[in-house]
Amino acid sequence: MDNELVELVLDETRDKMSRALEHVRGEFGAVRTGRASSALVEHLLVDYYGAETPLRQLANFSVPEPRLLVVTPFDKGAVNAIEKAISVADLGLTPSNDGSVIRLLFPTLTEERRKAFVKLVRTKAEEGRVAVRGVRRHARQELENLEKEHGLPHDELERLEKVLDKMTQDEVARIDELLAHKEQELLEV
């Protein structure tokens, strides 16, 4: 039995699980809290001289106050296009343009809105857990195929399944940590 195939399956599984975790982290970053964060707008597409360009390629972001995000375009001619993209995105933010920078004031969230966001992040966390478990299931199938086709010993398969379960538990625990942190952030007044 070639150990390289087993290592390949495990490495691929680790990579896919970590990508699932990063996806959840990105999803959480896009959920607005009462705090200013560039994660909410940096992925917006701006019509920049006829090309759809992500905002993070067109501007710098700064947070001078907890509820204020300042977007400073590299090209002053893009200010109006950026302002339009933010307005059209329907983020619940009203851009204020002074000709060289755009200011976004994040309103405080109502209790009802906070609870709705907590529900949303819980859903995103569960989607992340499901994705991690799907990766585990796929890896198990690959290992079972190695058992059938390449003579992987059954006791080695059982040991590897325990390794997969441990990897899965670790990633799910990380998602749960992210969720707890995001919930705390959302419920903070």
How confident is the model over 81-94, as pLDDT tens digits?
999 998 888 777 88
- pLDDT, residue 92, reads 75
Q: Which of 73, 105, 137 is the last residue of a domain?
A: 105
In the chain, % of residues over pLDDT 70: 97
Closest CA relative to residue 135, chosen from 162, 158, 167 = 167
The pLDDT of residue 130 is above 90: yes
Query: Do residues 67 and 123 share a domain?
Result: no
Query: Do residues 180 and 150 share a domain?
Result: yes
**With contact defined as beta carbons under 8 Å apart, do 85 and 123 qualify?**
no
Query: Do residues 92 and 130 share a domain?
Result: no
Query: Do residues 139 and 81 share a domain?
Result: no
Q: Per residue in 34-70, pLDDT tens?
A: 677 787 888 889 998 888 999 889 999 998 988 889 9
Q: Which of 60, 89, 105 is the last residue of a domain?
A: 105
**With contact defined as beta carbons under 8 Å apart, do 101 and 69 qualify?**
no
Distance CA 97, CA 82 (A): 10
Tell me how many domains the chain contains: 2
Domain span including residue 71: 38-105
The pLDDT of residue 189 is above 70: no
pTM for the full predicted model: 0.71
Alpha-carbon radius of gyration of the chain: 22
pLDDT band at 152 (very low <50, low <70, confident <90, very high): confident
